């Protein structure tokens, strides 16, 4: 407990996990912490508003009929009723008829127990989470190249002394503003089709803004690698000593001289050579990727191309230099390490590995054969709902899939095809409002646990105040359902007990938490995994001596350009790309309810070059329909002269008619199963009469939750 009864904890939003003080009445203040140095963004400063929000869910709700609203019920009736329906479905259709969907915002304890619940209590292989939409391509590329996936393999504070930082597909000035305080002394290069606030900072720093055609970032990286080799910047001793595969990589990159790359991606060859020269001549230099490079049907290859460039220049593992990926969600790192991902077991183990299965089975106290194998990835799981052979029930914890998943219309159809949809959430978002059973759960300041931030540092989330009467934690919900299902093994609701089991389950894995304890964290130790023993100091910097592969070398993997899954033409002449804005977070289910934030950006907008808008009969401030082969998003036009004329931009924080994912393409990366959020073919039209961006956005009003209010579509 801090001064004046305040509790030291961390912001509920992004993976920077800024330090916060939370007072006894829910008031929030910034706390000095290495990642944020006493600062916060608007989202963090206003996060306390949600603790006492009038739309908080405080009682379990059960839908009274297929087309009606909800009625309150008791916890015992809610959990036993859900368990009975799950058991009946499993008995009739098998264990994979029940599915679970988690989130990158869940604590490590909740992610761990949810994965165990799916495999032990339900016996299902059908579990995945919304991190599949966020970090999966970077994770796959990092595992392939380095043998380890940790977003930043070095502390954020290492960036303080950087001379040059290349941000490939990262708009950190809006998505995690306190990170910019670590970049104030560096020359920045920003790769982004839009001139974002981060790109403006790059130009102000004496750097460059490279604006490739959406879907061509890989070509840009290949052109830069070609320049690095031909212009004499290849770090040959590093490549020979610490990597394998350069010859195969060069066989492709040799064909992508910068002038050829320029014709495809639109970035000037001179700019490519300039950035490579800056990287080669700087002593302290970093390349960081984010969603702009990753959210493609070939995102793994794109990240691999940036890794190849970084390895060719000798960055990873060098003091004062490195390659990393900026993790997005609050527990985006820890959330993918402990078992809620379809192919993983705790400790970042693969679920098909016999040794991993044997170890985890022993910790769980179940026979190894009883643990299911890999299940469907997130988009494939959602697409299978209600179909023959697919899940007939879905339990959702902390995710708003109706807004966050691609092709929202199809997702809505699949949710409505279920026999049972159960959502555990804090506020009634778009997905929650389609549920059959809605379970109210605690928020970040009302629970204990741990999170793992973007630099692999394990942090303590501390309870500052009690949740409202009638509200339970996610751990209590999972434990209650497990008890109602008479599940084998133990499902404790106490977070410390769960974490101690997680420690044992992760021991010996890539993400080894065996030596981490609440006591060490509460004492203020900075513990970056792996921490394999109680006396181990943690590993703030990976790869200083060797990479994670058995031979200690990094893998340079040959990758080549492939056009986006969906090209323009056939009545769809423009490319839409999606992203975030400063005042909103993810699906907007939280930030759209904070008046101070919603007043700044109250509705969805579409950025359009003025000439493009004029050609489509539109002007600044008009309502437009952004139409793809899958659906339509209605948005307010913002004319932006710096935008590429062939590209429009939609923020993805809104639901209903304003959901950007009404138009996005569900095409998947063959390795990571990441959807292609960043490229879809669209056309612009004046909005159809009567259409409004907020139509059907679902803010969880009292009318929508009442027994006579608006309900889900009839099934």
Which DSSP symbol is given to 55?
T
Q: Which residues pair with 668 in a beta bridge?
A: 675
Q: Which residue do the tokens 């923020």 mark?
A: 651
Give me the domains of the chain, ranges plus CATH numbers: 61-134+331-522 (3.40.50.740), 152-325 (3.40.228.10), 574-686 (2.40.40.20)
Residue 328: pLDDT band by 50, 70, 90 thresholds? Answer: confident
- Encode pLDDT of 397-443 as tens digits: 999 999 999 999 999 999 999 999 999 999 999 999 999 999 999 99
pLDDT score at 691: 82
pLDDT at 342: 97
**pLDDT score, position 705:** 57
Sheet with 28-30: strands ordered across? 7-10, 19-22, 28-30
**What is the pLDDT, as a whole number, of residue 704?**
55
Query: Could you tell me which residues are beta bridge partners of residue 457?
Result: 528
**Of 44, 42, 38, the residue nearest 15 (C-alpha):** 44
* pTM tops 0.75, yes or no: yes
Q: Are 426 and 444 in contact (CB under 8 A)?
A: no
- Answer whether residue 709 shows pLDDT above 90: no
Nearest to 444 by CA among 335, 331, 584: 331
Percent above pLDDT 70 for the chain:
97
DSSP 611: H
pLDDT at 67: 73
pLDDT(699) > 60: no
Q: Are 195 and 214 in contact (CB under 8 A)?
A: no
Tell me how far apart the alpha carbons of residues 263 and 14 are, in angstroms, rounded to a whole number.
36
Q: Which two tokens stand for residue 473?
A: 């934690």
SS3 705: helix
pLDDT tens digits, one per residue of 281-299? 999 999 999 999 999 999 9
524/181 Cα distance (integer angstroms): 23
Query: Cα separation of 88 and 96, whole Å?
Result: 13
pLDDT, one tens digit per residue, over 508-547 is 999 999 999 999 999 999 999 999 999 999 999 999 999 9
pLDDT class of 702 with cuts at 50, 70, 90 = very low
Q: How far apart are CA 694 and CA 336, in angstroms?
A: 33
Q: At what angle do helices 108-116 and 495-506 cross, to 10 degrees?
A: 70
pLDDT at 4 exceeding the cut of 90: no
Query: Mean pLDDT of all residues in the chain?
Result: 95
Higher-confidence position of 691 and 411: 411
Higher pLDDT, 617 or 694: 617
**Residue 298: what pLDDT?**
96
Residue whose pair of structure tokens reads 């739309």 in the numeric block: 55
Q: How far apart are the first and last CA of the chain?
A: 50
Residue 102 has a CB neighbour count (10 Å cut-off) of 27
Residue 18: per-residue pLDDT: 97
SS (H, E, C) 98-133: EEEEECCCCCHHHHHHHHHHHHHHHCCCCEEEHHHH
Determine the pLDDT at residue 68: 75
Which burial class, exposed, middle or buried, applies to 87 when counting CB atoms under 10 A from its CB (0-12, 13-18, 19+)? middle
* Widest distance between CA atoms in the chain: 72
> Rounded distance, CA 382 to CA 631, Å?
18
- Burial, 470: exposed, middle or buried (Cβ in 10 Å; 0-12, 13-18, 19+)? middle
Cβ atoms of 226 and 202 within 8 Å: the answer is no
Tokens of 166: 């290349």
**Beta partners for 344?**
350
pLDDT at 330: 92
The burial class, CB within 10 Å (0-12 / 13-18 / 19+), for 466 is exposed
Provide the pLDDT for residue 2. 66
- Work out the average pLDDT over 159-188: 97
DSSP state of 73: -
pLDDT band at 696 (very low <50, low <70, confident <90, very high): low
pLDDT for the residue numbered 39: 93
Coil, strand or helix at 472:
strand
């Amino acid at each position: 407990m801090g001064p004046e009864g305040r509790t030291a904890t961390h912001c509920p939003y992004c993976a920077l996990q800024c330090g916060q003080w939370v007072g006894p009445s829910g008031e929030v203040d910034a706390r000095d912490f290495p990642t944020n140095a006493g600062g916060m963004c608007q989202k963090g400063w206003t996060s306390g508003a949600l603790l006492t929000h009038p739309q908080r869910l405080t009682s379990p709700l059960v839908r009274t009929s297929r087309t009606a609203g909800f009625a309150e019920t008791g916890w015992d009736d809610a959990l036993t009723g859900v368990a009975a329906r799950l058991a009946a479905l499993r008995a009739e259709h098998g264990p994979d008829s029940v599915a679970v969907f988690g989130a990158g915002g869940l604590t490590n304890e909740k992610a761990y127990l949810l994965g165990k619940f799916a495999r032990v209590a339900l016996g299902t292989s059908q579990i995945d989470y919304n991190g599949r939409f966020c970090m999966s391509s970077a994770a796959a590329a990092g595992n392939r190249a380095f043998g380890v996936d940790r977003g930043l393999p070095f502390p954020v504070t290492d960036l303080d002394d950087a001379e040059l930082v290349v941000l490939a597909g990262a708009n950190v000035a809006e998505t995690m503003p306190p990170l910019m305080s670590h970049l104030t002394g560096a020359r920045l290069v920003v790769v982004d089709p839009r001139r974002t606030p981060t790109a403006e900072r790059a130009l102000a720093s004496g750097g460059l803004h490279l604006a490739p055609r959406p879907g061509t970032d890989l070509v840009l990286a290949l052109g830069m690698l070609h320049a690095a080799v031909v212009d004499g910047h290849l770090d040959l001793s590093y490549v020979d000593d610490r990597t394998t595969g350069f010859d195969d990589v060069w066989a492709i990159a040799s064909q992508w001289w910068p002038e050829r790359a320029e014709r495809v991606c639109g970035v000037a060859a001179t700019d490519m050579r300039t950035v490579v020269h800056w990287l080669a001549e700087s002593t302290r230099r970093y390349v960081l990727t984010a969603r702009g490079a990753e959210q493609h049907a070939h995102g793994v290859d794109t990240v691999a191309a940036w890794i190849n460039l970084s390895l060719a220049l000798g960055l990873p593992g060098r003091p004062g230099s490195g390659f990393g990926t900026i993790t997005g969600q609050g527990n985006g790192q820890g959330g993918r390490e402990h078992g809620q991902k379809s192919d993983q077991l705790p400790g970042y183990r693969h679920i098909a590995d016999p040794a991993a299965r044997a170890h985890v089975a022993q910790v769980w106290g179940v026979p190894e054969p009883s643990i299911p194998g890999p299940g469907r990835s997130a988009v494939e799981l959602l697409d299978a709902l209600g179909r023959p052979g697919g899940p007939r029930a879905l339990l959702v914890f902390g995710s708003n899939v109706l807004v966050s998943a691609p092709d929202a219309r199809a997702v809505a159809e699949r949710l409505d095809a279920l026999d049972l949809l159960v959502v555990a959430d804090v506020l009634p978002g778009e997905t929650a409002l389609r549920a059959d059973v809605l379970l109210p759960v605690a928020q970040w300041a009302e629970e204990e646990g741990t999170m793992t931030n973007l630099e692999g540092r394990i942090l303590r989330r501390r309870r500052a105040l009690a949740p409202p009467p009638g509200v339970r934690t996610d751990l209590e919900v999972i434990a209650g359902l497990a008890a109602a299902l008479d599940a084998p093994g133990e499902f404790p609701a106490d977070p410390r007990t769960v974490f101690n089991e997680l420690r044992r389950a992760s021991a010996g894995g890539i993400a080894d938490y065996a030596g981490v304890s609440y006591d060490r964290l509460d004492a203020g130790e900075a513990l970056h995994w792996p921490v394999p023993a109680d006396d181990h100091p943690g590993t703030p910097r990976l790869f200083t001596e060797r990479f994670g592969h058995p031979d200690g070398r990094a893998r340079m993997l040959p990758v080549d350009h492939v056009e986006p899954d969906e090209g323009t033409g056939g009545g769809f002449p423009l490319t839409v790309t999606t992203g975030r804005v400063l005042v909103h977070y993810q699906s907007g289910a939280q930030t759209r309810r904070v008046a101070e934030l919603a007043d700044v950006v109250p509705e969805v907008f579409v950025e359009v070059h003025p000439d493009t808008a004029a050609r489509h009969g539109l002007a600044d401030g008009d309502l437009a329909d952004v139409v793809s082969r899958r659906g339509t998003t209605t948005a307010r036009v913002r004319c932006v002269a710096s935008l590429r004329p062939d590209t429009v931009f939609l923020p993805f924080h809104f639901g209903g008619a304003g959901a950007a994912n009404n138009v996005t393409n569900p095409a998947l990366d063959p390795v990571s199963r990441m959807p292609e959020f960043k490229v879809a073919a669209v056309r612009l039209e004046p909005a159809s009469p009567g259409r409004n961006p907020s139509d059907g956005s679902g803010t969880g009003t009292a009318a929508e939750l009442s027994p006579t209010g608006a309900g889900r579509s009839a099934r």
